[in-house]
Chains A and B, each alone.
Chain A
């Protein structure tokens, strides 16, 4: 009888470790690969639809519906083949878990004056913002749409309470001011595997590249340092 109990306890221990392995490694590797593959496919489709439009002014995407993929994030610092889909809304059920990154519905779109604010997992579900704390000032954060690429340059990171919503204001931290710059804000959880705080990373829009011109140098040159 005691032998059976021991075997059950051993089995339970193995299951716990197996779950950790699944959550921390398997889940992220497999889903990360799926998101990267899907990203390459979406880029090819957008290449096929490319027109000569957008040479003068950036084409600002329309506000997306919940769960509608309208852009992709490419960050050379996160890996050469890294690409994550961005869809409307920040609910886990519709956007963050099945798709990847979500756009805060009341924030601006890329290219507009104001704040393009997106959220994503730092662990599990492909962990699109897993390496967000490794960004270094000047790193390229590129938002790819069907019409071209918005290249942002990473500026700084802050750690805030989950209730601090002014980080996604049009002027981050100053909800009463009118925007003059285009910025991007990435929000994720901090520390890893925790709900205690949020890690907030900012970038400033540097340039627009229409799709007809091919990917911007920020993507083709790789990372420095």
Chain B
């Protein structure tokens, strides 16, 4: 899977390394911004009030 991805990238090795870093950074940014906040809603472990009204 990752081997195929590596081979599909253009250019010499150093260009591919830079492309991989950009792709990883973009994926992590997307996870932090959208995916993880959504996941946290599903696994909420954060009740901080007494009375259980929230």
Contacts and interface: CB of A to CB of B under 8 A. Distances in A.
Contact of B50 (A92, A96, A163): A163
B8 interface: no
A20 to B, nearest CB: 10
Nearest to A194: B45
Contacts, number: 73
Contact of A189 (B32, B39, B47, B53): B47
B48 A198 contact: yes
A26 B50 contact: no
Interface SS of chain B: helix, strand, loop or mixed? loop
Interface in B1-39: 1-2, 28, 31-32, 36, 39
Contact of A23 (B1, B2, B36): B36
A162 B47 CA distance: 9
Interface of B: 1-2, 28, 31-32, 36, 39-40, 45-54
A187 B28 contact: no
Interface stretch (A43-51, A80-88, A115-123, A143-151): A115-123
Given A4-B1, A7-B2, A8-B1, A19 B36 contact: yes
A8 B28 CA distance: 16
Given A18-B28, A102-B49, A123-B46, 17 more contacts: A4-B1, A7-B1, A7-B2, A15-B31, A19-B31, A22-B32, A23-B40, A27-B36, A90-B49, A91-B54, A121-B46, A160-B50, A167-B50, A188-B48, A194-B45, A195-B47, A200-B50
